[in-house]
Structure 1
């Protein structure tokens, strides 16, 4: 993950500069600057509009008493997209618009969920507590084998002694 972040902070600015030079050589310097300003203004307007929508949806979810999973993810994506849109450059603007626009946000939400699910599973597997709670079996043959040894649902049996103390 550190290598990926290092490469992102190294490669993205170089790619942005290269793309700005390429676009500037085709349409000219002043037109490139004007395009970047227009892009930032449009991005700021969309971020403001979508941020309000995400905030309203979050409030409605909380008032109805349900867990606001989608609404929190949308708010986070609008925040990330806004930061990318305010960063000068065309490459980051593309990803910013993907995070902010309402018809591309579900795709980015699924991509983010997939990424974070993989990351959490990898971190859980590397944890020293990974084997503390083994996964429960759902197959009948394993459950029956565990029940024969006195373990419910195929878990381990810990033998011990119950001591009842008399309370006066």
Structure 2
């Protein structure tokens, strides 16, 4: 819940600051343009999927990176559709492969650390006769 309130504060703060600089007309244009761009990305998601499949086939990325990159592109497109400057900035950043790979590597590094912590557990099955 605290993250949602923090998001609302940041979204409102950024949107008010930028809207006051560019004015109501250009704010409206930006909201419509990024929503159209987000819808276009979702409609053409198959192109990005083919590019990441090619990278996966060439061994440039792992299966986890393949899944996360496509997920982040879809999430970025959804963020572009949602009105607001902060969500639009995040949505645009998620469209870049470098930023998506950075996030994916951080997440999977954290996941692997948690898996290593759980490696002390020995799974035993007892069969009684």
By the TM > 0.5 criterion, same fold? Answer: yes
RMSD across aligned positions (CA): 3.0
What does residue 105 of structure 2 align with? 113
**How does 1:1-168 map onto structure 2 within 5 Å?**
6-49=1-44, 51-57=45-51, 68-100=63-95, 104-122=96-114, 124-125=116-117, 127=118, 130-132=120-122
| Whole-angstrom CA distance in 2 between matches of 1:115 and 1:52 | 25
Paired residue for 1:152?
Answer: none
Equivalent pairs counted in the alignment come to: 120
Instruction: Give 5+ residue unaligned stretches, structure 2.
Output: 124-129
CA contact (8 A) 2:53 2:66 kept: no
TM-score, scaled relative to structure 2? 0.70
TM-score (norm 1): 0.56
Q: For residues 55 and 14 of structure 2, what CA distance do their matches in structure 1 show?
A: 42
Point out the structure with the larger helix share: 2
Kindly indicate whether the alpha-carbon contact (under 8 Å) linking 2:48 and 2:70 is maintained by their aligned counterparts in 1: yes
Contact 2:35 2:80 in 1 (8 A): yes
Determine which structure has more spread, i.e. the larger CA radius of gyration: 1
CA contact (8 A) 1:57 1:71 kept: no
